[in-house]
Chain A
Amino acid sequence: MRAQLMRRTLPSLVLGLLFLSTPAMGSCLDKYQELLGQLQKQADIMQRTSLLLDPYIQSQGLDKDGLKEHCRERPGAFPSRDALQGLGRWEFLRTLDTTLGRVLHRLTALQRDIPKAQDLETLNRAKQNIRGFKNNIHCMAQLLPGSSETTEPTPTDPGTSPSPTPTSDTFQRRLEGCRFLHGYHRFMHSVGQVFREWGESPSRSRRHSPHQGLWKGTRRMQLSRKNKRLLPRGQLPR
């Protein structure tokens, strides 16, 4: 039991330390490689099922043969790896930010099905980690060319995506929660791979002056206008 707790807590602590170096608002890390490395590490940690999925399955009694097979990500719930790899950097970050906002919202909804304080604490830590990750996404967006059109900083509210259809059927909600968490970890795995590819292709231009990317208030554009792909110079969409 103690080992299990350690397994859950340790990655969260590591994530917490990683986030310490990137305060939420206003003071982003201006070193691209360093920030990218942090995002990779965070994604690597957040993909671990021991953080959310495993304790959820156990607490909900889904660790039974015949049930576990149904705890699979629903197609379309999260962007696939190919879809993520096909996005431009800026668009990728925006998708990531939006998806994680949805995850935050969904995790809040999951809280009502978790009676144990210990599991609730695990869930809350995961939410904090996601918020920190979103802030790093925001910082990374500033370092990309054309960063005046960048993502919004992570608000502390659950996000703007519509909440999943509420169901009073506890069993169905339980399964959906499990599938969702499975998809979330898979999604973070794909995100980590994309970030790793970023690191492996340094030819992609990046901005070296962080000051150009600072939030510029009125110059900020609406998300709808950002849908155009902002590709770095010489970069082709994948």
Chain B
Amino acid sequence: MALFSVFQTTFLLALLSLRTYQSEVLSEPLPWAPESLRVFINSTHQCLHLQWSVHNLAHHQELKMVFQIEISRIKTSNVIWVENYSTTVKWNQVLHWSWESKLPLECAKHFIRMRSAVDDAKTPEQSFWSNWSSWEEVHVQNSLGHDPFFVFPKDKLVEEGSNVTICYVSRSQQNNISCYLEGVRMQGEQLEPNVSVFNLNHVAFIRETGTNIYCKGDQGDSIKGIVLFVSKVLEEPKDFSCETQDLTTLNCTWDPRSDTGLLKQLSQSYTLFESFSGKKTLCKHKSWCSWEVAPESQEMYNFTLTAENYLRKRSVHLLFNLTHRVHPMAPFSVLFTDVSATNATMTWKVHTTGNYYTLLCQVELYGEGEVIQRNVSVEVDGKQLFGGLKPDTEYRAQVRCANANHFWKWSEWTRQNFTTAEAAPSEAPDVWRNVKSVQGHSVVTLFWKPLSKLQANGKILFYNIVIENLDRSSISKLLSIPAPANGTELNLDQCLYQIHVTANNSVGTSPASVIIVSGDPGNKEVEEERVKGMEDGFSLSWKPQPGNVTGYIVEWCDHPRGPLCDLQWKSVGPTTTSTVVSSDAFRPGVQYNFRIYGISTERVPYLLEKKTGYSQELDDAVCCKYRIDNPKQKTFVVENLQPESFYEFLVTPYTSVGEGPHGAFTKVTTPDEYSPILIRIILPMVFCILLIMIICYLKSQWMKEKCYPDIPDPYKSSVLSLIKSKENPRLTIMSIKDCVPDSIEVLNKQEGTRKSLTETESSKATYLYLLPTEKSYSGPGPCICFENFTYNQAASDSASCGHVPVAPVAPLSQLGLLTSPENLLKALEKNYMNSLGEIPAGETNLNYVSQLASAMSGDKFILPTNPPEPALCSEYKMQMAIPLGLASPPSSGSSSLSSVTLLDEGEHYH
């Protein structure tokens, strides 16, 4: 055990002595150790540049060496970077090395040291590390100003998606500083008591002027910040391609992608480098560049397109043979020659791209929905003949070319239009006729359908109609109907006619369409059958004709209800016995009638069958169905029909098995709704009016007296209103009190002579009763009865005027007309003078003018119910007469009314 301890101690001592020896050897300065180490700071790029030299190298001696560089942050023990830098060192050479810090250099102290070793096979004995150089301290904060705090790095330019470290350095540890990125607060970590760092990962592009990052102290009044310029990542140009149109200039294009331009960085630039020629050009445009083709006929080109900005370069390459990149220019001078109705020759020219290049040209022709394509080999001029074209048709031609030997790209199309010439119409017009017999003549209406564009071969100008009398073959007639007419009417006799119809354009005439027309319309009585319409029209079929038939015609009207039936027809071949007739004009609920004609070999149409039916029977078309159970009933009244509506009625028998066949419908249009009502009202009204008119006519005289008598009522005169309005006391109606009555001779006996004259009419004598009723009568004296002998005939005719109670003042009614005393006197004088003469008894144009009576009647309304007793009445002799124009008829109505009015006034005088 003791031996073991001694051995162990001896071993340890030996090991220690060996170690000591080694350390002594290593501590000796290496002859090629780094010296004169200097550190330079580039804050903008956050870089440390190291510079040193190696002494003791012999002249022209080169030595491979390794320099180990150590970088510490904040303190020397905190090594953050170790790197071995290998290089060949020459005599008296100054060596350089750079290091970029992720943390802005202002944010913390940095320490750098290095050592070296020989890494050269020539001196293997020297291949151990030299001593470390002393630490070089980098402390940028010392050079900062006196602001309370700072933010770093200033104006840093990075690519989008990069990671960036920001820091602030505060002068005081007490400052409470918060930092923001575009207004959003950032969370950092403390690096030192006065330094905080913020790691931004994957920074994004925000704007060309950069991203604002700023810090504010707790007071809020101080603000410091930086602008971080985030550039979009420079992308590789896409779709880089070069081609030539003329073999003298190459045009290279590419997609530049994103623009990386910033306030602190220009947009990326592009350079084009060709490796065979070694030429390089800076492109002026972002997406294309021109390159002059070498005159020495360089065929191969190897291009490198380089996009470059402050941060990055991107390159793409392109190798090609020039002749394989020929993109010809579009052909020109495209012309059409020898254009006929069916043929045309197209010529064009191409740009020359060399002496020996052949172009392949593609020609396309579009017209009437068809495309004709041709490939033509062309050196200088191209030519292509097109045949089988359609007459009078516009065609669009286009041509493009490409390199025939090495296809690269087609040129642009060059287009030109042309129209073929017209040709004579190729088909005969489809003709049909309608024949009517009118007074021994045939009115033939010819119809034809316009030729289709393909058939017309040009613009149809007119239709020629040749009418040939087959009975008298020598007679023919030619009619020319200008287009676009589609029919004409002919008046023919009962002879047999053959009609030729041709269509004509500017070039020629179509084949003729021939139809035979005779006086007999050929509408023999055939039974009408019902057909049912389908969605696509009517399916019609008929029995095949045993004889020779050249074809069939189906005829119908598109608008059977309209005044113009719009005759339509359809021609089918002789072997066809069925067809489907369809028309856009067919409407549901409308009955259509079809006639099927056969065309004989003599081209004479004759009616074969008749069909009728609805294209679609509406559900509501059958509005009602009545069941008549009495087999003997022969009449039925359908009620509640709509006025002015079209109805069709069908009566069919039925048995217990079912209904019988449906015969023809009876068509009825109901009258309008208001006619019967109007008739019921208007007729009685007319009758009444007529009756009234007759009565009025018969009683016109009575009406005249009633409504507008010759002697007007003064109280109805406008003069009265004038008097009242002016309130002129001098102008008034004469009052009975103001008048001095004439002397009245009262006879208590009847005058014989006069009576003899009126004897036969004694019962009808007109009396003017001046007697008031007992109640109202206040004056003395008996009643006075005036017999009016001068009463005119007209007045006397009035039946109601036999006994009229007239107030004493009644004669004053005429005084109303005599608005002034003078007029009154004149009138009276005149009449009086007339009265002096003999008045013939038969003279009827004089009216009686009553004189004033002394007594007044107070009872003005009550008509006397009993005629006055003659004994009590005084007979009045005629006093005077006045012309009819001044007299008013003493009709009962008017007189009575006048009296009333006057009495009313008179009452005011009481």
Q: Quick check: A67 and B183 within 8 Å, CB to CB?
A: yes
Which residue, of B180, B209, B210, B225, has the highest number of chain A Cβ atoms within 10 A? B209
A23 sits at the interface (CB 8 A): no
Q: Quick check: B212 and A115 within 8 Å, CB to CB?
A: no
Q: Quick check: A171 and B214 within 8 Å, CB to CB?
A: yes
Stretch from A31-39, A54-62, A95-103 at the B interface: A54-62
* CA gap between A64 and B210 in the complex, in Å: 14
* CA gap between A118 and B213 in the complex, in Å: 25
Given the complex, which residues of B lie within 8 Å of A217, measured CB to CB? none
- With an 8 Å Cβ cutoff, the count of chain B residues facing the other chain is 26
A162 sits at the interface (CB 8 A): no
Q: Quick check: A70 and B223 within 8 Å, CB to CB?
A: yes
Q: Quick check: B214 and A115 within 8 Å, CB to CB?
A: no
A116 sits at the interface (CB 8 A): yes
Interface residues of B in 191-238 (CB under 8 A from A): 206-214, 216, 220, 223-227
Please give the distance in Å from B155's CB to the nearest CB on chain A: 5
* CA gap between A198 and B216 in the complex, in Å: 44
* CA gap between A136 and B521 in the complex, in Å: 104
* CA gap between A175 and B212 in the complex, in Å: 11
Q: Quick check: A59 and B223 within 8 Å, CB to CB?
A: no
Known contacts A70-B223, A170-B154; is-contact A113 B212 (Cβ 8 Å): no
Interface residues of A in 32-73 (CB under 8 A from B): 59-62, 64-67, 69-70
* CA gap between A62 and B151 in the complex, in Å: 17
* CA gap between A139 and B528 in the complex, in Å: 108
Please give the distance in Å from B704's CB to the nearest CB on chain A: 89
Known contacts A115-B263, A170-B154, A170-B227; is-contact A64 B209 (Cβ 8 Å): no
Q: Quick check: A61 and B214 within 8 Å, CB to CB?
A: no
Known contacts A64-B183, A66-B183; is-contact A175 B223 (Cβ 8 Å): yes
* CA gap between A227 and B183 in the complex, in Å: 47
Which residue, of A62, A67, A171, has the highest number of chain B Cβ atoms within 10 A? A171
Please give the distance in Å from A158's CB to the nearest CB on chain B: 22
A169 sits at the interface (CB 8 A): yes
Per-position binary interface string of chain B over residues 150-190, scored 1 when its CB falls under 8 Å from any chain A CB and 0 otherwise: 01001100000000000000000000000010110000000
Q: Quick check: A116 and B208 within 8 Å, CB to CB?
A: yes
Known contacts A61-B207, A70-B223; is-contact A171 B183 (Cβ 8 Å): no
* CA gap between A171 and B263 in the complex, in Å: 12
B262 sits at the interface (CB 8 A): yes
Q: Quick check: A66 and B226 within 8 Å, CB to CB?
A: no
Instruction: Name the residue of chain A whose CB is nearest to the CB of B223.
Output: A70
Contact of A169 among B155, B206, B207 (CB under 8 A): B155
Q: Quick check: B214 and A113 within 8 Å, CB to CB?
A: no
Interface residues of B in 839-859 (CB under 8 A from A): none
A168 sits at the interface (CB 8 A): yes
Q: Quick check: B154 and A113 within 8 Å, CB to CB?
A: no
Given the complex, which residues of A lie within 8 Å of B263, measured CB to CB? 113, 115, 170
Contact of A61 among B151, B211, B223, B264 (CB under 8 A): B211
Interface residues of A in 130-182 (CB under 8 A from B): 168-172, 174-175
B261 sits at the interface (CB 8 A): yes
* CA gap between A114 and B223 in the complex, in Å: 22
Given the complex, which residues of A lie within 8 Å of B214, measured CB to CB? 66-67, 171
Known contacts A113-B263, A115-B262, A171-B227; is-contact A62 B212 (Cβ 8 Å): yes
Given the complex, which residues of B lie within 8 Å of A62, measured CB to CB? 212
Determine the interface band of chain A, counting residues with CB < 8 A from chain B.
20 to 34
Given the complex, which residues of B lie within 8 Å of A66, measured CB to CB? 180, 183, 214, 216
Given the complex, which residues of A lie within 8 Å of B151, measured CB to CB? 171
* CA gap between A190 and B209 in the complex, in Å: 32
Given the complex, which residues of A lie within 8 Å of B261, measured CB to CB? 115
* CA gap between A140 and B223 in the complex, in Å: 42
Q: Quick check: A59 and B212 within 8 Å, CB to CB?
A: no
Please give the distance in Å from B383's CB to the nearest CB on chain A: 53
Please give the distance in Å from A16's CB to the nearest CB on chain B: 28
Instruction: Name the residue of chain A whose CB is nearest to the CB of B185.
Output: A66
* CA gap between A65 and B178 in the complex, in Å: 14
Contact of A174 among B180, B220, B227 (CB under 8 A): B227
Total residue contacts A-B, CB cutoff 8 A: 63
* CA gap between A169 and B263 in the complex, in Å: 13
* CA gap between A61 and B208 in the complex, in Å: 10
Known contacts A61-B182, A67-B214, A168-B155; is-contact A115 B225 (Cβ 8 Å): no
* CA gap between A42 and B212 in the complex, in Å: 34
Please give the distance in Å from A165's CB to the nearest CB on chain B: 13
Known contacts A61-B182, A64-B212, A113-B263; is-contact A171 B225 (Cβ 8 Å): yes
Please give the distance in Å from A114's CB to the nearest CB on chain B: 8
Given the complex, which residues of A lie within 8 Å of B264, measured CB to CB? 170
Please give the distance in Å from A1's CB to the nearest CB on chain B: 15
Q: Quick check: B212 and A67 within 8 Å, CB to CB?
A: yes
Instruction: Name the residue of chain B whose CB is nearest to the CB of A174.
Output: B227
* CA gap between A195 and B225 in the complex, in Å: 40
Interface residues of B in 361-400 (CB under 8 A from A): none
Known contacts A170-B155, A175-B223; is-contact A59 B209 (Cβ 8 Å): yes
* CA gap between A66 and B213 in the complex, in Å: 11
Which residue, of B207, B212, B220, has the highest number of chain A Cβ atoms within 10 A? B212
* CA gap between A6 and B214 in the complex, in Å: 33
Please give the distance in Å from B207's CB to the nearest CB on chain A: 6
Please give the distance in Å from A168's CB to the nearest CB on chain B: 7
Given the complex, which residues of B lie within 8 Å of A65, measured CB to CB? 183
Q: Quick check: B227 and A115 within 8 Å, CB to CB?
A: no
Q: Quick check: B209 and A171 within 8 Å, CB to CB?
A: no
Given the complex, which residues of A lie within 8 Å of B182, measured CB to CB? 61, 64
Per-position binary interface string of chain A over residues 63-103, scored 1 when its CB falls under 8 Å from any chain B CB and 0 otherwise: 01111011000000000000000000000000000000000
* CA gap between A76 and B151 in the complex, in Å: 27
Given the complex, which residues of B lie within 8 Å of A115, measured CB to CB? 208-209, 261-263
* CA gap between A169 and B214 in the complex, in Å: 12
Instruction: Name the residue of chain A whose CB is nearest to the CB of B266.
Output: A115
Please give the distance in Å from B215's CB to the nearest CB on chain A: 10
Given the complex, which residues of A lie within 8 Å of B216, measured CB to CB? 66
Per-position binary interface string of chain B over residues 247-284, scored 1 when its CB falls under 8 Å from any chain A CB and 0 otherwise: 00000000000000111100000000000000000000
Given the complex, which residues of A lie within 8 Å of B212, measured CB to CB? 60-62, 64, 67, 171, 174
Given the complex, which residues of B lie within 8 Å of A113, measured CB to CB? 209, 263
Given the complex, which residues of B lie within 8 Å of A170, measured CB to CB? 154-155, 210, 226-227, 263-264
Instruction: Name the residue of chain B whose CB is nearest to the CB of A69.
Output: B220
Q: Quick check: A169 and B154 within 8 Å, CB to CB?
A: yes
Please give the distance in Å from A122's CB to the nearest CB on chain B: 15
Q: Quick check: A168 and B154 within 8 Å, CB to CB?
A: yes
Given the complex, which residues of B lie within 8 Å of A114, measured CB to CB? 209
Q: Quick check: A61 and B209 within 8 Å, CB to CB?
A: yes
Per-position binary interface string of chain B over residues 490-522, scored 1 when its CB falls under 8 Å from any chain A CB and 0 otherwise: 000000000000000000000000000000000
Instruction: Name the residue of chain B whose CB is nearest to the CB of A70.
Output: B223
Instruction: Name the residue of chain B whose CB is nearest to the CB of A167.
Output: B154
* CA gap between A174 and B155 in the complex, in Å: 12
* CA gap between A24 and B182 in the complex, in Å: 44
Q: Quick check: A60 and B225 within 8 Å, CB to CB?
A: no
Please give the distance in Å from B11's CB to the nearest CB on chain A: 67
Please give the distance in Å from A48's CB to the nearest CB on chain B: 23
Given the complex, which residues of B lie within 8 Å of A169, measured CB to CB? 154-155, 226
Please give the distance in Å from A117's CB to the nearest CB on chain B: 11
Given the complex, which residues of B lie within 8 Å of A59, measured CB to CB? 207, 209
Per-position binary interface string of chain B over residues 571-610, scored 1 when its CB falls under 8 Å from any chain A CB and 0 otherwise: 0000000000000000000000000000000000000000
Give me the 8 closest cross-chain CB pairs, A-B, nearest first: A64-B183, A171-B225, A170-B227, A115-B263, A115-B208, A171-B227, A170-B155, A61-B212
14 additional A-B pairs beyond A59-B207, A170-B264, beta carbons within 8 Å, are A61-B210, A61-B211, A66-B180, A66-B183, A67-B223, A69-B220, A113-B209, A115-B208, A115-B209, A169-B154, A170-B155, A171-B212, A171-B213, A171-B225
Could you pull out 21 A-B pairs where Cβ atoms are within 8 angstroms? A59-B207, A61-B182, A61-B209, A61-B210, A64-B180, A64-B182, A65-B183, A66-B180, A66-B214, A67-B223, A113-B209, A115-B209, A115-B261, A115-B262, A116-B208, A170-B154, A170-B210, A170-B226, A172-B224, A175-B223, A175-B225
